[in-house]
Structure 1
Amino acid sequence: MSYKVIVKDKYDITPLIETISMRDSLDQIACQASIRVAVPSGSGLPSLAPGMDIRISGIPFGDKSFHPLLHPGVIWEIESTNSGTKRLNMTVYDRMIYLEKSEDEYLLPKDQTASQRIRKYAKDWNITLGTIPETKSKLGKAVYRAQTIFSMIFADLKETAKSDGPMFHPRMTSRGLELFELGSNSNVIQLDRLIDMTQMRTLEGAVTKIRVLAASESSDGKEVPSKALAVEEKGTKELGTLQKLMTDDQIKTADAAKKYAKNYLTGIQQTFTVTAPDINTIRAGDAVMVSGMKLIVMTASHDLGNPGTMTLELATADYVRRRYYLE
């Protein structure tokens, strides 16, 4: 076996597993696994239940020893069927799922960084932290009412990216909750053994003209037109006018608005979907090389096995910034 699945740190259920797949995406905080287990009569498998600890380990590409792929994890859902042989279909998440499902409220002062805020959330929620790099960008005052901890973390990271800072994504690892700068992986894997590659090019989502508006103000109770802080365009002659209006309370100056606008301008949208032999350590946010292009993984789906396969959704860093961090 090229992987192992251990429940409650003592039950090895690997020999009973029929299929196992994992999914990691930039639009979700927790890595997810789907596991199908066959439980023959007399297997001695203890009763499994949601809430139990679980870990998934695998042998990375080019290595010989097991490393954590999803750890610490929790069994979230179990569906059982019995048509001669009992089978369990389990949904498993890493423990970041609790931050995606739990709500709180925070009133946070201005001039904090996203790093400082994530340390506060972790302290309040008793979360172990791993590597938390300094995100540097000072954020505005935040009033978070009855929303998930994940939505707060991501709002802080989006504001960091909007102010021309790097893009970060939270990850749960065996060391604890970490912040990973997109594309910063030291080993950028060249994907040259592709089973299939699909390229999508579309004008859907393209922006060739953008107006950044100041926050609306009324005068003597009367509505007045919004003031444009910046107007930028690119590609209107070739592709037509596709205009977007943007308002952001954090943008106060024309220079800041101009920078913000240029980040949004984009012509034909291009993404790639590749299927290849599995490299089980590739996660959402990693950079990979495909046909000489350095691309960011938006979604990584792994069907574990010998050798197993993976499907990656890829795009340029600029596309990722617009899609996930500027909206």
Structure 2
Amino acid sequence: MLAYQIPSATARAVLRDIAKPEPGPGQIRVEIRACGLNFADLLMQKGTYQDTPPAPFTLGLEIAGIVDAVGPGVVHFGPGDRVAVYSGQGGLAEFGVFDADRAVMLPSSCSFEEAAAIQIAYGTSHIALDHRARLQPGETLLVTGAAGGVGLTAVEIGRLMGATVIAQARGADKLTVAKVAGADHLIDADEDLRQRVLDLGGADVVYDAIGGDVFKAAFRATNPEGRLLPIGFAGGEVPQIPANHLMVKNLTVIGVYIGGYLKFRPEIVRNSFETLFRWHAEGRIKPHVSHVLPLSKVADGMDLLRARKSTGKVVITP
């Protein structure tokens, strides 16, 4: 089978022909129909992601497909089942073996491409805004990088939770995407973010996917007792947070890493995914997929992420 792998710690990712894996105890083998790309895939290629596996390994963190075989002890899934799996790795291949407890059954209303686009982006935003920040109806939510893979889902979920959503993104096209997702106010990346947010009454919750100067401006526009969620650092700079400023305004900075919950509270992730797939079946969320590419074009998909030329998700269909 074909797989997009990092062959060694010093080698670039390449498409390789490898043996089809066999499921072990508690595992399922999935014929992969779709795999969502994530910024973490880029970091893994540089070896800078916090959960980069030892080489050789196959890239691809979230997949959807059809169960092809099950290992000993698996009782909740069988061949032919449509599933979504937050795999962590192994998704950019024709087949993959994954722990069954990372899988959820996929409703018939959800396509494989949509399922591959929902898990990490929507799961991160749902857990961040609901479980961690406790976003309340009537509060103001600021989302930076609002047309990106996770930012766009934060706009959509924030609106579903009853918040007033301020979306910041670069350019009219990306701001239009955020508006369609439910943003109430739009701020171009070239504008003075701090002043614009303050003019709108300040932010109660900040969902920041950019870092650097954008986080600093958002920090200064946060209302007293506000909560800040540093989700990612697409701008390249991890912000340093002045603790004395936290004290003055009684602010809270909240860490969120969806993958971490798989290690100590996996039910948080599973419950979130079940909620999200139910919302999808009810028509309450609709993933935005800007590009669908075959496995042979996965490098092009990575380039789209790297150059920030995509909106929503890029999905690979092996």
The structure number with the bigger radius of gyration is 1
Q: Normalized per residue, which structure has more strand?
A: 1
TM-based fold match above 0.5: no
**What's the TM-score, normalizing by structure 1?**
0.28
